[in-house]
Amino acid sequence: MVISEPIRSEIDAEIAKFPKPRGALLRAMHLVQAEHGHVSTDCARELAEIFEMRPIEVMEVVSFYNMFFDKPQAKHHVYVCTNLPCSLRGARVLLAQLESHLGVQAPGDTADGRIHLGHEECLGACAYAPMMRIDDQYFEDLDVEKAKSILDSLGE
Amino acid sequence: MLQSPYVTSYLTEHFGNDEFTTLDGYERLGGYQAARKALTEMSPDDLIELVKASGLQGRGGAGFSMGMKWSFMPKEDDRPKYLVCNADESEPGSFKDRIMLERGAHQMLEGILIAAWATGAAATFIYIRGEYSFPADCVERAVAEAYEKGYFGANAMGTGFSHDVRVTRGAGAYICGEETGLLESLEGKKGQPRKKPPFPAQYGAFGMPTTVNNVETYSHVPHIINKGIDWFRAFGTDKSPGTTIFGVSGHVARPGLYELPLGTPLSEIVFEHAGGVPGGRKVKGVIPGGMSMPILPAGLLDVPMANEFLREQKTMLGTGGIMVMDETTCMVRVASIISYFFRDESCGQCTQCREGTGWMNKIVERIERGAGEQSDIDVLLDVAGKMEASTICAFADAAAWPIQGLLRHFSEDFIAHIGGRKCPFPESFEL
């Protein structure tokens, strides 16, 4: 088993809350990904058993959503919102500066594989632009220096 | 960071007060009285009639009457019925639901409880976009508090009525804001919209009769119960009553949220409330209601922000997300950013949308880099026209409308790129 016992019981508890088991699939994927960093083929196989689906159906769901990954990921995900409201307030300049600060072309990982830098579509922070999402957290009202120092202080 | 609205009214009055985010504090400020009144003194039919008569329109984009939606739920049907709260706010330029979730979760939950009683729903599924991690935490905490207090569950408020609330977190897909795409996602599938009919009221979440309403729409309901229809209709216009929370972004001095009556002139919001364009520059165009809604040029900003007036200008209120662009803005660049977004987010089911969004983006980008031909404008209009009203959901329309709007009001920018073979706005987006 690759999915741990505690996560497995959490998934079972979630399944009980929905009229059909599959209503808990997205939640289960979030839980699995929080534990493993991505939804591996092995995890997908186990999820398929739990939800009585075919593994390919599980992977179809994984690939449909931007926030699920089927491959190992960098430790931190940094996304600069480059949709229209953020772009009007300098998001593209910010992204370019962060690309050269980290030495990476977005979307891409730093050489040490620690940080993934990408752009994202609207994150609902339009008045507080430019902004970036790092993992689960929003950082808003940024300027280039502020954003760089946030990146520099990211934990290992 | 997310800030309380600069102008508040009944929905957001207490958003600056931390107390309002807890169940106890919310009740001290008058919360859950409307739900108690509805569940103990009002029949479901009376409630539906009341909400119909209030004229409350959905605040998620389409602007459909909430009371009408409730009345579509079948009465003679033994199947369990469900409600969905659409908290998948993803329309570019929109960020009002985020603050409703973070600062007003109990107000929304109270609206949900009232709607549940009115429609006889057994459960509500609150679907929150995956990126809204903190807002979802706030909602989950509020749901747990309300369960603990006995407001949800087997015996809601001690009335014998049973109602459960579940929170589902999405995982990053704009299309899941479309109500049937949302239903698919809720069921653990790819969020590809369903063919209609059957409509959700017949075949919705998990195949059961379902009504989908937006976060803000639910939040208006307790106020209508507490204070009555006349009070509610005193805000806004005859056809579009109540307030809404406008989100203003882009080139303005005070970007942020503003709760104002529907029908407030766009110019008042942009120039008086949001302080106009900084640096003495002029406005070039304003998108009035989220990125799907066609742009208005500077000369048309006196329009009142209500659908009956906006439609005359070939645009709509949408989500009330107002994006302001000053005179340095290249409208071809704007078209490029917009068309890229829709190309990226098309779910791929319908040919017109999957191919059309790609074509539009390719042509616009070609024009932007100075390689466009005069005929490209006609091709763009042709593709956009063929995408309208021809697909399973309104996404293709939402992709076509803003491009049509930009060509309607700013064709000179496109022509200048094609004729000059380069962008004539070097300063655009270099702020």
What is the CATH classification number for the domain harbouring A95? 3.40.30.10
Q: Å from B167 to nearest chain A CA?
A: 10
Binary contact (B431, A90; C-beta < 8 A): yes
Q: Å from A88 to nearest chain B CA?
A: 5
Chain A residues whose beta carbon lies within 8 Å of the beta carbon of residue B205: 19
Can you give the pLDDT at residue B180? 98
What is the pLDDT averaged over residues A136-155? 96
Nearest to A22 among B164, B188, B337 (CB): B188
Domain region containing A14: 5-64
Asked whether the beta carbons of A88 and A48 are under 8 A apart, the reply is: no
- Domain-located, residue A70: no
pLDDT tens across B232-278, in order?
999 999 999 999 999 999 999 999 999 999 999 999 999 999 999 99
Cβ neighbours for B57, distance < 8 A, ≥ 6 positions apart: B63, B64, B65, B66, B217, B240, B242, B307
- Domain-located, residue A113: yes
Which residue reads 């807890």 in tokens? B22
B257 CB near a chain A CB, below 8 Å? yes
Return the HEC string of B76-141: CCCCCCEEEEEECCCCCCCCHHHHHHHHCHHHHHHHHHHHHHHHCCCEEEEEECCCCHHHHHHHHH
Preferred mutation among A47, A58, A88 to probe B, highest tally of B CBs within 10 A: A88
Q: Å from B430 to nearest chain A CA?
A: 6
Top CATH class, B243-326? alpha beta
- Give the strand pairing for B210-214 and B243-250: unpaired
ipTM above 0.95, yes or no: yes
Can you give the pLDDT at residue B2? 86
Return the bridge partners of B86, or none. Answer: B127, B214
pLDDT tens across B383-404, in order?
999 999 999 999 999 999 999 9
Can you give the pLDDT at residue B428? 76
- Domain-located, residue A69: no
HSE-CB at B271 with a 13 A cutoff on CA atoms is 12
Mean model confidence pLDDT for chain A = 97
What is the pLDDT averaged over residues B326-340? 97
Asked whether the beta carbons of B305 and B263 are under 8 A apart, the reply is: yes
Strand, helix or coil for residue A134: strand
Can you give the pLDDT at residue B430? 60
Q: Å from A43 to nearest chain B CA?
A: 16
User: Tell me, what CATH number does A45's domain have?
Assistant: 1.10.10
Can you give the pLDDT at residue B427? 72
From chain B residues 283-302, the ones with a CB under 8 A of any chain A CB are 287, 291
Q: What is the DSSP string of A74-128?
A: -SEEEEEE-SHHHHTTTHHHHHHHHHHHHT-PSSEE-TTS-EEEEEES--S-GGG
Can you give the pLDDT at residue B431? 45
Distance CA B317, CA B289 (A): 5
pLDDT tens across B90-135, in order?
999 999 999 999 999 999 999 999 999 999 999 999 999 999 999 9
Asked whether the beta carbons of B98 and B104 are under 8 A apart, the reply is: no
* Domain covering B18-233 in this structure, CATH number: 3.40.50.11540
Strand, helix or coil for residue B144: helix
Q: Which of A15, A31, A64 is the last residue of a domain?
A: A64
Nearest to B324 by CA among B246, B382, B397: B246
Binary contact (A88, B189; C-beta < 8 A): no
The yes-or-no verdict on residue B333 having pLDDT over 60 is yes
pLDDT tens across B6-16, in order?
999 999 999 99
Q: How many domains does chain A have?
A: 2
Distance CA B354, CA B338 (A): 15
Binary contact (A140, B134; C-beta < 8 A): no
> Same structural domain for residues A85 and A52?
no
**Domain limits, CATH 1.20.1440.230, in chain B:** 331-420
> Same structural domain for residues A92 and A142?
yes
pLDDT tens across B303-319, in order?
999 999 999 999 999 99
Mean model confidence pLDDT for chain B = 97
> How many other C-beta atoms are found inside a 10 Å radius of the C-beta of residue B79?
13
**Domain limits, CATH 3.10.20.600, in chain B:** 243-326
Distance CA B288, CA B319 (A): 9
Preferred mutation among A22, A57, A61, A84 to probe B, highest tally of B CBs within 10 A: A84
| Assigned fold of B331-420 | de novo design (two linked rop proteins) (1.20.1440)
